[in-house]
Amino acid sequence: MKLAAFIHAIYIAPSAGAPMQQLAQAELIAGTGIRGDRYAQGNGAFSKTTPPKIRHITLIAKSGIEAANQLLEQNQYPQFSEAQTRRNIVISGITPEGLNGLVGRIFFLGQLSLQGIELCDPCQRPAKLLNKVDFIKSFEGCGGIRAAILDSGILYPEDILSTD
């Protein structure tokens, strides 16, 4: 199945709690994560969870961020920028439900294969780091997914997301 989805933006944070930095390209390391990102280095806020979870890369639908921000705006709460969601890859051209449907499936970003592992349920971390409210409620169902990186290589904004 071909999707009209593509990478809108790429972000990493070098350490737990550090602001996310937008990248012009990202080096993915199979079985590890994005070079320079906190989880690839083992120093993310949730790196030491028991049992361990695969946290190679996170993806979120741009339309999900927009929907959550509309809800926040209606309630007169501050909105979250793409970087403030603390997800690595922002995908345009896909719904949150479409992205969530990649859990348990192999998919491709550009030429690199990944496997959807689980939903990235919203937590309070982004809200606490920014002293904002309502991240969990607003991003429910559209917090993105975690994926395992199966191939090493370089990703660029506008690389296509596909499932075959």
Question: How many helical (H) and strand (E) elements, i.e. helices and strands, does the chain have?
Answer: 4, 11
Tokens representing residue 156 in the block:
């660029």
**pLDDT over 70 (residue 110):** yes
Model pTM above 0.85: yes
Of residues 81, 71, 80, 67, the one with CA closest to residue 132: 80
Cα–Cα distance measured from residue 104 to residue 98, given in angstroms and rounded to the nearest whole number = 13
Distance spanning both ends of the chain, measured CA to CA? 6
Angle, CA 38 vertex, CA 35 and CA 40 arms, to 5°: 45
pLDDT in tens, 38-56: 988 777 655 566 676 778 9
List domains and CATH numbers for the chain. Answer: 5-162 (2.40.33.20)
Mean pLDDT of 17-33: 95
| Rounded alpha-carbon distances, angstroms, from residue 97 to 61, 125, 142 | 9, 23, 7
